């Protein structure tokens, strides 16, 4: 079994924020696969079970805040006896990467991302990550918190729907089939 865990905040006011891009991608994948979300309090998450390329996969959106998602990762990894080095994929925003960039990494530091810091505290930091770039010209005019909690522009939402989300779903499918390689993808020029 594989676990695809997205970083994000559970409240509706964060739905279209940069910090919730991982939730948005998982919602699109769940819709594509006609999966139903279920509240799982023991995991501190809303989950959906799907099958991708013959592999049982749990999609998870933590119900804790972004900075506390390590408890969700640990609870699911322990319950299903998963090996994070091969079975865990985390999708999150990255304000250091330009909007339109997707980067796949198998391990690494938290890079200042408090959600990743939480997961690294509860789970060994050797797991696969899909980092979705959110940096744009507004980044220089706002502090980190206001920037990541701000909504995407109309043009960015369009690019997410047309280009970034489909590419991210392809990468999730590659992870599930064991065929994902660390790389950077410049989706928009």
Q: Which of 183, 179, 184, 185 is nearest to 54 (CA)?
A: 179
**CATH for 107:** 3.40.50.1470
Q: What is the pLDDT of residues 150-160, one digit of tens each?
A: 999 999 999 99
Give the residue numbers marked as catalytic: 19
Long-range contacts of 152-157 (CB under 8 A, 24+ apart): 152/16, 152/17, 152/18, 152/21, 156/99, 157/16
When pLDDT is cut at 50, 70 and 90, the band that residue 184 belongs to is confident
**Closest-CA residue to 3 (of 119, 97, 93, 162):** 119
Tens of pLDDT, residue by residue over 57-81, are 999 999 998 999 999 999 999 999 9
Total domains in the fold of the chain: 1
The residue segments making up the domain with residue 67 are: 2-186
């Amino acid at each position: 079994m594989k676990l695809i865990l997205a970083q994000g905040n559970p409240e509706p006011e964060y739905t279209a924020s940069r910090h919730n891009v991982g939730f948005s991608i998982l919602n699109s994948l769940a819709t594509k696969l006609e999966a139903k979300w279920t509240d799982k309090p023991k995991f501190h998450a809303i989950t959906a079970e799907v099958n991708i390329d013959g592999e049982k996969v749990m999609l998870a959106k933590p119900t804790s805040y972004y900075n506390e998602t390590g408890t969700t990762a640990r609870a699911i990894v322990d319950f299903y006896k998963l090996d994070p080095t091969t079975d865990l994929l985390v999708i999150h925003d990255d304000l250091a990467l330009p909007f339109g960039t997707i980067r796949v990494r198998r391990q690494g530091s938290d890079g200042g991302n408090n959600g990743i810091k939480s997961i690294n505290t509860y789970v060994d930091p050797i797991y696969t990550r899909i980092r979705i770039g959110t940096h744009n010209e507004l980044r220089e005019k706002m502090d980190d918190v206001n920037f990541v909690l701000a909504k995407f522009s109309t043009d960015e939402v369009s690019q997410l729907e047309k280009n970034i989300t489909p590419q991210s779903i392809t990468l999730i499918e590659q992870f599930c089939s064991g065929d994902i390689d660390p790389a950077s993808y410049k989706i928009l020029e």
